[in-house]
Structure 1
Amino acid sequence: MTELNLEQRLRAIEDQLEIYRLIASHPPSADTGADFYTRQVYTADGVFDLGDELEGARGNLAVAAITKTPGHQQAIASGLIHFTGLPIIELEGDTAYVTSYLQIITPDSHGEPRELPNHGVTNGFRIHGVWANRWSLVRTSEGWKINNRSLRLLDGSSAGREILEKALERYQSNDAP
């Protein structure tokens, strides 16, 4: 591994902070239907790959349009929550790869009301599912943008595990720090 100078190290830190901000902004944008956000953060030819189970989209306009579909709007009205884990970021010059977990949580409309002292009463929440995310980002003149996002359900099948394994590939070589 080559030693980075101070300027290169600072740029890497700034890149990671910008990427964290980009990835962390996804849940609030999805949960509010902020299509304007998605249009800005995907490349014009960006891909949202949902596998064989759900329909994805190609192009920032098409990806953004998903947030305005009747189904997504109904999910928002029902209390849709995208809850993510801290992502793993791999920087490779003007390209970056991000791997993260995504939980979809919804209010449990059939749950028994429960009180938590100093926090009120709710029927609780239900984890609808947990997915593995793999984001490919590119540096543009406007900052980091999403070029591809693949999302796979973690249901015991290999598709989700394969996404998670990609985040650990660098540790299989002698190049790991």
Structure 2
Amino acid sequence: MSVEARLAALEERLRALEDEREITRLVLSYGPLVDSGCAAEVAGLWEPDGVYDVDELLMTGHPEIEAMVRSANHQRWISGGCAHVVGPPHVTLSGDEATAVGYTLMIVKRPDGFVLRRATANHWRLRRTPSGWRAVTRVNRVLDGREESPDLLASHFPDAVRHR
């Protein structure tokens, strides 16, 4: 293999590592940003017309995502004590597109201590933009035994076979 070919291969591998790191940082930034009420920054994780699909809420575009963070319900979670703990994502790159799957735990403060309010499966579709990687869609489904939630996780692994 020529030096030029080896250098090109090395550059390709480095770019993939940098892309995965940027995507991982984007996904992991969601928790601290949403729990601190940084509405514009949360929305900025998505493309301007990006979709955030949570079990009980479908948001399209920055204004709707910002409104969720600013909502009275979300502000009550913050003032009462909560943490969206995001697990490290499994990222798959495909050129300027990517997917990532993982988990989020929502922990809330109660008078007797902290309790797990919900655990969700997360599936992100992302795209490289001139400003860096941004979410196109994020789908969250609560892990409560419904088939949809593990199916969402498995969809990231096209060769995986689910046994039911």
Q: What is the TM-score normalised by the length of structure 1?
A: 0.83
CA shift, 1:171, in A, is: 5.0
Question: For each residue in 1:100-147, what CA deviation from the matched residue of structure 2 results, as whole angstroms up to 9, or x when unmatched?
Answer: 1011001231x2xxxxxxxxxxxx310011000001100000000011
Q: 1:103 aligns with which of 102, 105, 111?
A: 105
Other structure's SS at 1:65 match: helix
Question: For each residue in 1:42-74, what CA deviation from the matched residue of structure 2 results, as whole angstroms up to 9, or x when unmatched?
Answer: 1111001124xx122101221122100000000
Counterpart-to-counterpart distance in 1, 2:64 and 2:138: 13
* Structure 2: stretches of 5+ with no match in the other structure: 1-5
Contact 1:56 1:63 in 2 (8 A): no
Q: What is the TM-score normalised by the length of structure 2?
A: 0.89
How many residue pairs get aligned? The number is: 155
Other structure's SS at 1:168 match: coil
Other structure's SS at 1:167 match: coil
CA shift, 1:98, in A, is: 0.7
Counterpart-to-counterpart distance in 2, 1:134 and 1:165: 10
Percent identity reads 33
Q: 2:35 aligns with which of 27, 31, 34?
A: 31
Matches within 5 A, 1:1-177: 5-51=9-55, 54-109=56-111, 111=112, 124-170=113-159
Name the structure 2 match of 1:116.
none
Counterpart-to-counterpart distance in 2, 1:170 and 1:143: 29
4+ runs deviating over 4 angstroms: none
Counterpart-to-counterpart distance in 2, 1:103 and 1:40: 22
* Structure 1: stretches of 5+ with no match in the other structure: 112-123, 173-177
The code of the aligned residue for 1:101 comes to Y
Name the structure 2 match of 1:115.
none
Other structure's SS at 2:115 match: strand
CA shift, 1:169, in A, is: 2.1
